[in-house]
A and B are shown apart, each in its own frame.
Chain A
Amino acid sequence: MDIKDIIKPENIVYKKTKLFTEKPLSYCPGCGHGTAHRMLLEVLEEMNIYSDTVGIAPVGCSVLAYEFLDIDMQQAAHGRAPALATAVKRLMPDKFVFTYQGDGDLAAIGTAETIHACNRGENFTMIFINNGIYGMTGGQMAPTTLPGMRASTCPFGRNTEIMGNPLKITELLAQLPGVYYATRQAVHTPNAVRKTKKALRNAFEYQKLKKGISFVEIVSNCNSGWKMTPNQSNKWMEDNMFPFYPLGDIKVPQLEKV
């Protein structure tokens, strides 16, 4: 097939979602954030809810998310996105609200806000990008850093006797009655991307039901922080992150039959 045929409108399979702004992504090449952003935006576009959606991205690599997402956005202080989202959703219960947070944000400095928003069963969606490291600040240890994994503040590998164990925050949150849906996905292969998109779609569909938090963890790479090529980091993630953070649903609602 000639290239001219391929780019004919009727042959286009995938195109840029209109909800991306024109600004080039500032994430490192090979980082999962770009794909995660895209899946989120595709879901908002397909559900046609973007004009009723408010997104909240706090500090960390995603602090500039509002530069790329063409929707109304709030930038929160480090860790506080679930508090903002609580107020936004309570004051505007018919809008769609999501937080987009990294591991340091959601599972370290913002643990209290995370747990209590989940425990109150707030009706918004939390998107949790877990790459086991602090990307933006230059690769320091996160609560989700694996045992033995190196970071700039554990240069000889995480010693669990001194630094504690990695926190499986999604499993912990799934125990709370206020969490309606909890799942763990990835975006490193086309198959994983499709599953993540489905999970995000579920999360926003469940948000409509107003039965509590819908929580999507996306295990991702940080090739810069891990000091690997993008391909190496994806392989390393499969070999090391997935055994500790297994992919798949953790809590699926038992929907009442209509």
Chain B
Amino acid sequence: MGELKLMKGNEAVAEAAIRAGADGYFGYPITPQSEIMEYLMTEKPYETTGMVVLQAESEVAAINMVYGGASCGRMVMTSSSSPGISLKMEGISYLAGAELPAVIVNVVRGGPGLGTIQPSQSDYFQATKGGGHGDYRMYVLAPSSVQEMCDFVKIGFDMAFKYRNPVMILSDGAIGQMMEKVVLFDPIPRRTPEEIEKQCPWATVGKKANRERNIITSLLLDSHEQEQHVFKLRDKYKRMQQEDVKFEKIQCDDAEYLFVAYGSSARICQKAVDMARAQGIKVGLFRPITLFPFPSEELKKLSSQIKGILSVEMSLGQMIEDIKLAVECKVPVNHFGRTGGVIHSPGEVFEALKSTYLGG
């Protein structure tokens, strides 16, 4: 068993980056995720593992530093919160177009605009449907605990390199700020330049005599070539759907009603499940862990036994669209949520289930 620590979600992300053997972190402060860079600057990994940590002049510069570092085959990451992620979207589109691996952490706060610094889940569309320009997707992981904030950094890097694609960890201000016990995984040494060249033969690290020059670009002026490139990306996203969908089912086996929720909302729903079960109401919780690829197949399978689904989100209802698509509208799907940085209580969620499906 690894080292046990009490940590904030944001600190767990930072510690996990060091332990995962990351080569670089480039960021720009914004509440509620500034502790990630603060932790890295305090821990000084550049003195221990050699990891580069740099505060950029803007979110735009930070994501483009990530692009530069990823182009060299390096394990690089950035983090931000909603308004900052909007600024990074240009760079994320380029990362996807140039097929570069990177981990991007979004500790979501309420919006739109400058919004609030309180937690929210209103960036679901932006994370899962593109966000930047063009036909692309990110692999999106949604942690619901500080432990997962830690573990998903490592999984995120694995997926980023497996698919040569940007990965987003879609967290929120509640998970970023709360403290929980974490079991830290054992540190993995950073790869040597030789290992990187072997594992990433596409990386721009200086053209050696024994190979063609490497070019990192997202520019394909010929529209037919561009179409082929997008088809190639689509096939990659299909592969994610087949090989790396992640979800969790809690008390779903005999469930007649289902909460579908991710991240903080899933934690709240878990309590609501307990409240309902105490009153003999058979409710389960289905928690998508990957928001893209969405666990549509599993949800569809479950829907045959279900009388109704409540999509519980800290937003006006964004994931509900994916749920409806998954169950092909064969089961009633309703939304309950608070937004603007307000967090729903388990009691509210339970009441919403009762008023929606059980006649109050």
Q: Which of A77, A85, A88 contacts B94 (CB 8 A)?
A: A77
Complex Cα distance A86/B66, Å? 10
Question: A88–B68 contact, CB under 8 A?
Answer: yes
B148 near A: Cβ within 8 Å?
Answer: no
When C-beta atoms are compared, the residue in chain B nearest to A93 turns out to be B52
A84 to chain B, nearest CB (A): 3
Complex Cα distance A46/B94, Å? 34
Which chain A residues lie closer than 8 Å to B26 at the CB level? 87
A250 near B: Cβ within 8 Å?
Answer: no
Complex Cα distance A95/B58, Å? 25
Question: B23–A91 contact, CB under 8 A?
Answer: yes
B325 to chain A, nearest CB (A): 32
Question: A56–B68 contact, CB under 8 A?
Answer: yes
Which chain B residues lie closer than 8 Å to A87 at the CB level? 24, 26, 52, 54, 65-69, 72, 74, 76
Which chain B residues lie closer than 8 Å to A54 at the CB level? 72, 204-206
Complex Cα distance A2/B24, Å? 60
Which chain B residues lie closer than 8 Å to A53 at the CB level? 206-207
B200 near A: Cβ within 8 Å?
Answer: no
Question: B213–A85 contact, CB under 8 A?
Answer: no
Question: B218–A75 contact, CB under 8 A?
Answer: yes
Complex Cα distance A23/B225, Å? 19
Q: Which of A50, A63, A113 contacts B207 (CB 8 A)?
A: A50
A51 near B: Cβ within 8 Å?
Answer: yes
B199 near A: Cβ within 8 Å?
Answer: no
Q: Tally A residues with Cβ within 8 Å of B.
A: 32
Given A70-B213, A80-B60, A83-B64: A90 touches B54 (CB 8 Å cut-off): yes
When C-beta atoms are compared, the residue in chain A nearest to B71 turns out to be A74
B61 near A: Cβ within 8 Å?
Answer: yes
Q: Chain B 196-213 against A: per-residue CB contact (8 Å), 1 yes, 0 no? A: 000000001111110001
Given A73-B215, A75-B216: A84 touches B205 (CB 8 Å cut-off): no
A192 near B: Cβ within 8 Å?
Answer: no
Q: Which of A69, A75, A95, A113 contacts B206 (CB 8 A)?
A: A95
Which chain A residues lie closer than 8 Å to B204 at the CB level? 54, 72-74, 88
Q: Which of B52, B68, B74 contacts A84 (CB 8 A)?
A: B68
Which chain A residues lie closer than 8 Å to B76 at the CB level? 87, 91
B91 near A: Cβ within 8 Å?
Answer: yes
B90 near A: Cβ within 8 Å?
Answer: yes
Question: B215–A66 contact, CB under 8 A?
Answer: yes
Which chain A residues lie closer than 8 Å to B216 at the CB level? 73-75
B45 to chain A, nearest CB (A): 13
Complex Cα distance A90/B53, Å? 10
B57 near A: Cβ within 8 Å?
Answer: yes
A18 to chain B, nearest CB (A): 11
Complex Cα distance A63/B215, Å? 12
Which chain A residues lie closer than 8 Å to B58 at the CB level? 112
B196 to chain A, nearest CB (A): 10
A116 near B: Cβ within 8 Å?
Answer: yes
The A-contacting residues of B in range 27-68, CB under 8 angstroms, are 52, 54, 56-58, 60-62, 64-68
B4 near A: Cβ within 8 Å?
Answer: no
B345 near A: Cβ within 8 Å?
Answer: no
Question: B219–A75 contact, CB under 8 A?
Answer: yes
Given A66-B215, A70-B207, A91-B24: A113 touches B64 (CB 8 Å cut-off): yes
B134 to chain A, nearest CB (A): 12
The B-contacting residues of A in range 75-120, CB under 8 angstroms, are 75-77, 80, 83-88, 90-92, 95, 112-113, 116
Complex Cα distance A71/B206, Å? 7
Question: B217–A74 contact, CB under 8 A?
Answer: yes
Which chain A residues lie closer than 8 Å to B207 at the CB level? 50-51, 53, 70-72
Complex Cα distance A66/B71, Å? 14
Q: Which of A70, A76, A77, A113 contacts B57 (CB 8 A)?
A: A113
Complex Cα distance A54/B71, Å? 10
A52 near B: Cβ within 8 Å?
Answer: yes
Complex Cα distance A84/B214, Å? 16
Complex Cα distance A73/B202, Å? 11
Which chain B residues lie closer than 8 Å to A83 at the CB level? 56, 60-62, 64-65, 67-68
The B-contacting residues of A in range 199-221, CB under 8 angstroms, are none
Question: A86–B68 contact, CB under 8 A?
Answer: yes
Q: Which of A56, A88, A112, A116 contacts B69 (CB 8 A)?
A: A88
Complex Cα distance A183/B345, Å? 63
Question: B218–A74 contact, CB under 8 A?
Answer: no
Q: Chain A 36-72 against B: per-residue CB contact (8 Å), 1 yes, 0 no? A: 0000000000000011111010000001101001111
Question: B217–A86 contact, CB under 8 A?
Answer: no
The B-contacting residues of A in range 168-202, CB under 8 angstroms, are none
Question: A112–B219 contact, CB under 8 A?
Answer: no
Complex Cα distance A76/B76, Å? 17
Complex Cα distance A74/B62, Å? 16
Q: Which of A74, A91, A116 contacts B61 (CB 8 A)?
A: A116
Residue contacts A-B, CB under 8 angstroms, 13 given? A51-B206, A53-B207, A74-B215, A77-B67, A77-B90, A77-B94, A80-B60, A83-B64, A86-B68, A90-B24, A95-B206, A112-B57, A116-B61
Q: A72-B206, A74-B204 provided; 11 other pairs, C-beta below 8 A? A: A66-B213, A71-B213, A74-B215, A74-B216, A76-B68, A83-B61, A87-B24, A87-B26, A87-B65, A91-B74, A112-B57
- Chain B interface (Cβ within 8 Å of chain A)? 23-24, 26, 52, 54, 56-58, 60-62, 64-69, 71-72, 74, 76, 90-91, 94, 98, 193, 204-209, 213-219
- Ordered nearest first, which 4 A-B pairs have the shortest CB separation? A84-B68, A83-B64, A75-B217, A87-B68
